């Protein structure tokens, strides 16, 4: 019995040992596999986490506000604006630039410091309608970009200034190219400026005439652009206002919704044809009111609200003995929705310093509308 039992015992122990070893190995494999699975799962989550902000960046819309050099830096709505375009640096015919004295420079530096706390970008606009030395800026700007040497100097001055003052880029406000020669020179200037700015991580934007007649809705041919040049720009800011000057003076044509709709149709058609992203386009709105009596000055949106808060809900009002036309809150929302529905990159304000403060701010209103629409699209995709 003992001899018979011993071999059986050895066999039994061998079987149990093999079973336990297999179980331990199997559990070990499960642990290894689970750990490997957890690592793979975690690895898969990391790109997902990284992609979410990237998706939001791609979808986020800009709100660009031009700010004149004499504005109080403490009164700008940095939280609502994604970009501030400080206006203006004035080009000289030799390619040098001028700012409106030390006060303007100090204002710029203060704006840059305050904007940084809100992640708001600051660009420098060059040009404008009037030159600091008198007359239209057009004559100075045209001369500066017509000559290769002065054009090169203007590019150098602008790039150097943006680096010195830690700005995020340059905005071109050449009002307005009036010939094929102007268009070619502007395109060359844009190309040369882009070549210097882009490697430094700077942006390049341009303010453009609406190119659409506010009365007839047809293309305006007296302003000439070379369409291919828009590839150099991050933002093309549509000045969809001042339509009162088209034909006989009519303040009601300042910037009605129908005018903006025609402008958006023209520019989206042009960009689609050229193969450029509509995301470059921003729709401009005026933050001022135009009087029916042209001998009376324009008034700011802030003045309208200060006169009576209910004016925020209107597009025209009686003031100073005349009727003023402007864009109230409902029209601003409609225009913002128009820009979003047509896949534009966002909105632009002329001029942020004209806005009302507090609850009736047009800047905050548009920013809120952009964010609301953006959040809706983002969470719908998720």
Dihedral angle of Cα 101, 102, 103, 105, to the nearest 10 degrees: 100
Q: Which residues contact 185 (CB under 8 A, 6 or more apart)?
A: 142, 145, 146, 151, 177
pLDDT of the residue at 220: 98
Neighbours of 204 (CB within 10 A): 20
Extract the tokens encoding 26. Answer: 């199997």
Can you give the pTM of this predicted structure?
0.84
What span, in angstroms and rounded, lies between the C-alpha atoms of 177 and 253?
Answer: 23
Is the previous residue joined to 202 through a cis bond, with omega within 30 degrees of 0? no
Closest CA to 97 of 190, 173, 161: 161
CA distances from 319 to 285, 329, 358 (A): 21, 18, 22
Residues 156 and 87: beta-carbon distance below 8 Å: no
pLDDT of the residue at 42: 29
Please indicate whether residue 34 or residue 186 has the higher confidence score (pLDDT): 186
Closest CA to 242 of 214, 203, 272, 273: 214
The 3-state DSSP class for residue 282 equals: strand
User: How confident is residue 65, by pLDDT bands cut at 50, 70 and 90?
Assistant: very high
240-259 as b/e: b if 16+ CB within 10 A: bbbbbebeeebbebbbbeeb
pLDDT of the residue at 53: 34
pLDDT of the residue at 315: 98
Extract the tokens encoding 236. Answer: 């093309």
Average confidence (pLDDT) over 48-68: 63
pLDDT of the residue at 380: 53
Is the previous residue joined to 176 through a cis bond, with omega within 30 degrees of 0? yes
What span, in angstroms and rounded, lies between the C-alpha atoms of 177 and 230?
Answer: 14
Closest CA to 88 of 132, 142, 144: 132
Domains in the chain, start-ordered, CATH in brackets? 58-287+325-381 (3.20.20.80)
pLDDT of the residue at 59: 60
Q: Which residues contact 200 (CB under 8 A, 6 or more apart)?
A: 159, 163
Residues 357 and 295: beta-carbon distance below 8 Å: no
pLDDT of the residue at 248: 94
Is the confidence at residue 376, as pLDDT, over 80?
no
Q: Percent of the chain, pLDDT > 70?
A: 82
pLDDT of the residue at 204: 98
Is the confidence at residue 346, as pLDDT, over 80?
yes
Is the confidence at residue 71, as pLDDT, over 90?
yes
- The pLDDT tens digits of the residues spanning 224-255 come to 999 999 999 999 999 999 999 999 999 999 99
What span, in angstroms and rounded, lies between the C-alpha atoms of 197 and 158?
Answer: 9
pLDDT of the residue at 17: 44
Residues 331 and 338: beta-carbon distance below 8 Å: no
- The pLDDT tens digits of the residues spanning 108-142 come to 999 999 999 999 999 999 999 999 999 999 999 99
pLDDT of the residue at 320: 85
pLDDT of the residue at 373: 75
Is the confidence at residue 35, as pLDDT, over 70?
no
Average of per-residue pLDDT values in the chain: 87
Extract the tokens encoding 225. Answer: 């652009």
Q: In this predicted structure, which of 66-75, 148-157, 177-186, 366-375 has the lowest mean pLDDT? A: 366-375
pLDDT of the residue at 206: 98
- The pLDDT tens digits of the residues spanning 335-344 come to 999 999 999 9
Extract the tokens encoding 381. Answer: 């995709």
Angle at Cα 141 formed by Cα 107 and Cα 350, nearest 5°?
A: 45
Residue bearing tokens 């290894």: 32
Neighbours of 323 (CB within 10 A): 16
CA distances from 84 to 285, 326, 348 (A): 15, 22, 10
Strand partners, 364: none
Extract the tokens encoding 347. Answer: 């909105």
Q: Percent of the chain, pLDDT > 90?
A: 80
Is the confidence at residue 16, as pLDDT, over 90?
no
User: How confident is residue 163, by pLDDT bands cut at 50, 70 and 90?
Assistant: very high
Average confidence (pLDDT) over 155-181: 97
Average confidence (pLDDT) over 131-156: 97
pLDDT of the residue at 144: 98
Please indicate whether residue 227 or residue 40 has the higher confidence score (pLDDT): 227
Is the confidence at residue 30, as pLDDT, over 60?
no
pLDDT of the residue at 200: 97
């Amino acid at each position: 019995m003992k001899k018979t039992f011993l071999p059986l015992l050895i066999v039994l122990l061998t079987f149990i040992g093999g079973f336990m070893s297999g179980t331990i190995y199997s559990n070990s494999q499960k642990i290894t596999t689970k750990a490997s699975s957890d690592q793979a799962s975690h690895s898969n989550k990391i790109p997902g986490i990284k992609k979410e902000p990237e998706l939001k960046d791609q979808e986020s819309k800009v709100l660009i506000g031009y700010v004149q050099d004499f504005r109080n830096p403490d009164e700008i709505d940095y939280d609502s604006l994604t970009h501030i375009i400080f206006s203006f640096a004035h080009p000289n015919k030799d390619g040098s630039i001028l700012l409106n004295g030390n006060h303007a420079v100090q204002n710029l530096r203060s704006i840059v410091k305050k904007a940084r706390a809100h992640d708001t970008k600051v660009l420098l606009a060059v040009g404008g309608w009037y030159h600091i030395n008198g007359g239209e800026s057009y004559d100075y700007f045209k001369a500066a970009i017509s000559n290769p040497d002065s054009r090169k100097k203007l590019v150098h001055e602008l790039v150097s200034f943006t680096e010195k003052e830690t700005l995020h880029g340059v905005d071109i406000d050449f009002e307005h190219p009036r010939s094929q020669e102007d268009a070619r020179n502007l395109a060359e200037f844009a190309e040369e400026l882009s070549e210097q700015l882009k490697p430094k991580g700077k942006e390049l934007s341009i303010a453009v005439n609406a190119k659409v007649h506010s009365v007839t809705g047809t293309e305006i041919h007296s302003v000439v652009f070379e369409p291919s040049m828009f590839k150099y720009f991050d933002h093309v800011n549509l000045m969809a206002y001042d339509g009162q000057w088209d034909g006989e003076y009519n303040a009601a044509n300042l910037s009605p919704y129908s005018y903006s709709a025609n402008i958006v149709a023209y520019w989206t058609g042009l960009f689609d044809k050229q193969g450029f992203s509509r995301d470059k386009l921003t729709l401009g709105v005026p933050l001022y009111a135009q009087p029916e009596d042209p001998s009376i000055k324009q008034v700011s949106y802030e003045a309208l609200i200060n006169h009576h808060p209910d004016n925020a809900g209107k597009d025209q009002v009686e003031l100073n003995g005349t009727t003023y036309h402007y864009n109230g809150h409902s029209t601003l929302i409609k225009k913002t929705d128009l820009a979003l529905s047509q896949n534009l990159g966002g909105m632009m304000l002329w001029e942020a310093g004209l806005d009302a403060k507090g609850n009736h701010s047009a800047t905050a209103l548009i920013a809120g509308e952009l964010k609301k629409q953006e959040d809706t699209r983002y969470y719908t995709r998720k």
